[in-house]
Amino acid sequence: MPRLPAPPFGMSRGLVLAAGLTLIVGCAPAADGRGDARLRVVATTTILADWVRNVGGERVQTDSLLAPGEDAHAFEPIPSDARRLSDADLILAFGFGLEPWLADLHAASGSSVPLVEVSEGLEARPAAEEEGEHGALDPHVWFDVRRAMAAVERVRDALTEVDPPGETTYRANAEAYIAELEALDEWIVEQVATLPVERRKLVTSHDTFAYFAERYGFVVVGSLLPTSTEAASPSAQDILRLAEAIRREGVPAVFPENVTTGSLLNQVAEEAGVEVVGPLYTDALGPAGSPADTYLGLMHFDVETIVAALRP
C-alpha cells in the first residue's frame, strides 16, 4: 500500500484530513458488515473524546461514554454503556482514578480490545485529601496544558497501535494539534501574568485545579468537595471553614463548576461576602454550541473568566 509522506509541520488541518480520507478510500480494510470502515474509539469523557477527534480525524469514529456536563467521578454506567465498549476497537480513559467504575464496566462488556489510560507515564499529583498517604492520585491532568500535550501523544500512539496504516495521519494530526496546545499554554501564561500575584487564588466546587495552579502559579485556597466528588457532602462546618479561609486569604471570587450541582458554594460566598462567578467548565465539555464545546474552548473560557473575576 502506498505510504503518504508525513506532511510538513504547519500543514493545514484540511489537507491532513484529506490525506486521512485518501487512506480510508484507498486502503481501509473491508467493513465487517457495518458499513463504516472507520476505527471505533470510545473515550470516557468529552474532553478526551475531543483529543481523539483531533488526532484521529476522518479515520476515527469517536464516541464519549459521558455526555457534556456529566461528572466522571460519580458516573453510573447502564447496560447500554457495556454494549458501547464491546462494539469499540479501542477504549481510552484518563486514569489516575477519574473513572473508578470503568474496570467493572470493561469486564462486564466482555470486550477484549485494549483499554489505554492516557495519564500513564505522566507525573501525578496526590489527591489533596490523601496527601502523605499511599494511593489516590489527582486525575485532573488536562488543566496543565503541558501534561495535556503528553497525553495527546499517548492518544496518537494508542491509535497507531490498533491501526498501523493510519500512522502518518495520526502523527501529522497530533503534531498540528500539539502546536495549538503550545500556543494555548503560552496564552494562559500571558493572561495570568496580568494578575497581581496576591490575586491568584482559587476556590471552586471540587478540587479540580491543582495541576492548573502548579503550572500557572495559583494557590488553591480550598474547595467545597475533595478531588473526587464521590460520596462527599460538605457539612455546615465545612462551609463555615471555607468561608473563613476566603476572608483570611482575601480571595476575590469563587467559581462553581458545570459538573457539580447545588447551591452550597453560593452559601459559602454569601457567608464570606464574595462574588460567585461562572460556572467554569471543569471535568467535562459544555454542550455543542457553548463556548466550551472543545478542550481549547474550555481552557479559553475558564482562563478568561478566572482572570476577569480576580483582576483588581
138 near Zn ion (CB under 5 A): no
Q: How far is the CB of 156 from Zn ion (least distance, A)?
A: 25
205 contributes a contact to Zn ion by CB under 5 A: no
Does position 283 interact with Zn ion (CB under 5 A)? The reply is yes
d(CA 93, CA 26): 31
Taking the least distance from each CB to Zn ion, the nearer of 128 and 240 is 128
Phi, psi angles (nearest 5°) of residue 104: -65, -40
Instruction: Kindly tell me which of 169 and 229 has the beta carbon lying closer to Zn ion.
Output: 229
Stretch that binds Zn ion, among 17-25, 166-174, 203-211, 284-292 (CB under 5 A): 203-211
The single-letter code of the amino acid at 246 is I
In the block, which residue shows the cell 496580568?
A: 194
Q: In angstroms, give the least distance from the CB of 107 to Zn ion.
A: 24
Is residue 208 part of the contact set for Zn ion (CB under 5 A)?
Answer: yes
- Residue among 174 and 225 whose Cβ is closer to Zn ion: 225
* x/- map, 86-105, Zn ion, by CB under 5 A: --------------------
Q: How far is the CB of 179 from Zn ion (least distance, A)?
A: 28
Strand, helix or coil for residue 207:
coil
Residue 122 or 172: which CB sits closer to Zn ion? 122
The SS3 assignment for 174 reads: helix
Smallest distance from Zn ion to CB 208, Å? 5
Smallest distance, Zn ion to C-beta of residue 87, A: 27
Bridge partners, residue 93, by sequence? 117
Smallest distance, Å, CB 128 to Zn ion?
12
At residue 153, φ and ψ (nearest 5 deg) are -65, -35
| Identity of the residue, 42 or 47, whose beta carbon is nearer to Zn ion in the bound complex | 47
Of 101 and 187, the one with the shorter C-beta distance to Zn ion is: 101
Shortest Å, Cβ 219 to Zn ion = 19
Query: Residue 206 is inside which H or E element, if any?
Result: strand 201-206
Stretch that binds Zn ion, among 169-177, 184-192, 270-278, 280-288 (CB under 5 A): 280-288
Which of 279, 254, 280, 258 is closest to 267 using CA atoms?
Answer: 254
Which range binds Zn ion by CB under 5 A, 108-116, 142-150, 184-192, 200-208? Answer: 200-208
- Residue 167 or 283: the one with the smaller Cβ distance to Zn ion is 283
Of residues 48, 64, 63, the one with CA closest to residue 96: 48
Per CB under 5 A, does 223 bind Zn ion? no
- Site residue total, Zn ion (CB under 5 A): 2
C-alpha grid cell, residue 38: 472507520
Residues 59 and 178 sit within 8 Å (Cβ to Cβ): no
C-alpha 56, offset from chain centre? 17
Minimum Å gap between C-beta 263 and Zn ion is: 19
> Which is closer to Zn ion, CB of 169 or CB of 208?
208
Q: For residues 118 and 172, which CB has a smaller minimum distance to Zn ion in the complex? A: 118
Q: Please give the Cα distance from 109 to 13 (Å, whole number).
A: 35
Residue keyed to cell 459538573: 259
CB 303 within 8 A of CB 188: yes
The region of 17-25, 169-177, 245-253, 277-285 touching Zn ion under the rule CB under 5 A is 277-285
- Rg of the chain over Cα atoms, rounded to whole angstroms, equals 21
- Alpha carbons 217 and 142: distance in angstroms, whole number: 16
- Angle in degrees, CA 140, 143, 148, rounded to 5: 95
Residues of this chain that bind Zn ion (CB under 5 A): 208, 283
